[in-house]
Amino acid sequence: MSEKGKELYEEVKDKIEELKNNDSAYAKFGEIWKLACPIKYKSYDLRFLYEDTSREFVDRHKDNIIKMREDFVENIEDYTKLCMKRLGKTNHFKVHFAKTNEEAQKIFMEELGDNKVIYKSKSLEAKDAGIIDILKENNIEIKETDLGDVLCQLFDYKYPSFTLAPGVQFTVEEIVAKIKEKHGIELKPQAEAIVNYYRTTYRPELLNNVKVSLTSANAISADDGSIILVENEGNISLLTRATEKHIVVAGIQKIVPTVFDALLVAKIQERIMNVDGAYISLISAPSNTSDIQGMRVFGMYGAKEVVIILVDEWRTKAAKENLLYKDLLKCISCKSCDLVCTASRAFGNIYGSKYGIGAVNIIRDYIHNGIEATVRDGLFLCTGCENCTNWCPAGVDLAEIMRNLKKEATEAGLAPPNLDKYKEKIFKDKNPFKAQ
Ligand code: SF4
Ligand code: SF4
C-alpha cells in the first residue's frame, strides 16, 4: 500500500467515523437516505399512481431502451451530427459543439456576456463540464431555483447529495430557523409555510428578472432536434420561458435517436422515482410568432434565444476506443442504481463525489480527476453486489466499471489494508475466509 493509499484510507475512515455522530452532515443525510431507498424501492412494485407498477412499466420497455442506447453508442458521431443539424438548421437554436470542457467553458462565458447573474436548474451536466466552477471563479452569482437546491444554497451545503431531492436532509425546524437567520422572516414550522414563502417572494423574481437561464436536458432527440425537460415544481418552465436567453449545456450522451425515445426516457425517469413529473417541456424552437403578415419574428413571450452547448470531452473517445467507462454513455440518468446500491444505503453521501452520490458520480470523478479521486469518494466501499447492473433499465454494467476501477486503484497501491490480508490468505490457503 502506497503512502497516498494510506492517506486516502484514513480520510475515508474518518468520514465513516462521523456517521456515529448524529449531528454530523454525513449522519443526517445517511439517516434520511436509509429510509428513502427502501421506500422508493418498495413503491416500485405498487400501483398507487397507475394501472401497472413501475417495475412492469420498466420491464416492458427495457429491451427497447437497451437497444436504443446501444445503437446510439455505436453511431455516436452520426447521431451527434444529425442532432446538431436539426437543432440549428431546422429549429433555429444557436448550437455549439465543444470538443473539450475548456471549450465549453469558454463558449459559455461568451454567451453569458456582461450578465453577472444566472438562474439555473438541472445542471449536473454543466458541473461535469466545469462550468459551475468557472462561474464561481468569475464571481457570477448563481441562483438555484429548484427548492431543494435553494435550500442547499441557503445552508451552504457542500456535501454530495441526491440530485432529485438535494435538500431532503434538512428538517422543517432547521429550515425555518435558517430562513429567520438569513432573511429575518419568522415562519410556522410547516412545509406549506416554507413553500408559500418561496412562492410569494422568489416566484415574482423568476417571472420578471431572469435574463439568462441555464439548464441541462433530460434528453435531446436527433430526429427532430427537441429538448426534453421534466420537472415537478414549475421552475424550469419559468426559467425556460420567462428569460431572454436560455442556455442548455448537455453532454452528447443525452442525445437519443427519436423524439419518442426522448419521451420514453422522461417517462422511465418519472416511473422509477414514482413521482408525477408535473411538467414535461418539449422545446423545439425559441419563442416566435408569424402573426404579423406571416413574417416570422423570434422572441414573442418566451425565450428570444436558445443556445445549446453539446459537450464531447470524453464521450466519443470512450465509444471509439472502448474505454473502461464506455458503458456510461448508455446511462439515461434514471438514478435507480442509487436506490438499490448497498454501499450507498450503508454510507449515504460518503459514497459519492462532488458530482453527486453513488457509483455513477464516482465514475464521473474518475473521468475528470483520476483514480485517487475515486478512492477518496469511497470506491472500495462498493461491495460488488451488482444490484446496480441488475436494475439498470439501460443495460449499463456499473458493477463491471467499478471492478475495473478497483483493479486500477489496487495496481496503484491505493487498495485498503484489509484487502492485502485477503490476498495473503488467498495465496496461502486458496480461501480468503479460512480460519487461522
Ligand atoms: S456493485 Fe457497488 S455500486 Fe453497484 S450496487 Fe453494489 S455496491 Fe453499489
Ligand atoms: S446507470 Fe444508473 S442512472 Fe444510469 S441508467 Fe443505469 S440505473 Fe439509471
pLDDT of residue 429: 84
Question: From CA 197, how far away is CA 189, in angstroms rounded?
Answer: 12
| Complete DSSP assignment for 164-192 | TSTTTTS-HHHHHHHHHHHH-----SSHH
Does the beta carbon of 341 lie inside 6 Å of ligand 1?
A: yes
Q: What is the strand order of the sheet 279-283 is part of? A: 255-256, 219-221, 227-231, 279-283
For ligand 2, atom 5, the nearest C-alpha belongs to 331
- Domains of the chain (ranges plus CATH)? 3-43+335-429 (no CATH), 54-145+202-316 (3.40.50.10420)
- Going by the DSSP 8-state scheme, the letter that residue 115 receives in this structure is -
Could you tell me if 144 and 166 are in contact, meaning their C-beta atoms sit under 8 angstroms apart?
no
Burial class (CB in 10 A: 0-12, 13-18, 19+), 137: exposed
Question: From CA 412, how far away is CA 418, in angstroms rounded?
Answer: 16
CA distances, 129 to each of 317, 323, 333 (Å):
16, 19, 16
pLDDT of residue 436: 64
Q: Rounded to the nearest whole angstrom, what is the distance from the C-alpha of residue 153 to the centroid of ligand 1?
A: 30
For ligand 1, atom 4, the nearest C-alpha belongs to 388
Chain segment 162-173, per-residue pLDDT in tens = 877 888 889 999
Residues with pLDDT less than 50, the chain: none
Does the beta carbon of 398 lie inside 6 Å of ligand 1?
A: yes
Chain segment 352-397, per-residue pLDDT in tens = 999 999 999 999 999 999 999 999 999 999 999 999 999 999 999 9
Q: Where are the alpha helices (DSSP H) in 50-190?
A: 54-74, 76-85, 101-112, 124-128, 131-137, 147-155, 172-183
pLDDT of residue 426: 84
- Alpha carbon 69 to chain centroid, angstroms: 18
pLDDT of residue 350: 96
Question: From CA 378, how far away is CA 233, in angstroms rounded?
Answer: 33
- Going by the DSSP 8-state scheme, the letter that residue 379 receives in this structure is G
Ligand in closest contact with the CA of 352: 1
Q: Pocket of ligand 1, candidates 383, 391, 403: which has the most ligand atoms within 8 Å of its Cβ, to mutate? A: 383
**What residues does ligand 2 touch, defined as CB less than 6 Å away?**
331-337, 360, 391-394, 396, 398
At 245, which helix (H) or strand (E)?
Answer: strand 245-251
Cell numbers found for residue 376: 477518496
Question: From CA 101, how far away is CA 204, in angstroms rounded?
Answer: 34
Could you tell me if 298 and 287 are in contact, meaning their C-beta atoms sit under 8 angstroms apart?
yes
Q: Pocket of ligand 2, candidates 396, 397, 398, 401: which has the most ligand atoms within 8 Å of its Cβ, to mutate? A: 396
Ligand in closest contact with the CA of 399: 1
- Going by the DSSP 8-state scheme, the letter that residue 89 receives in this structure is I
Chain segment 260-293, per-residue pLDDT in tens = 999 999 999 988 877 777 899 999 999 999 999 9
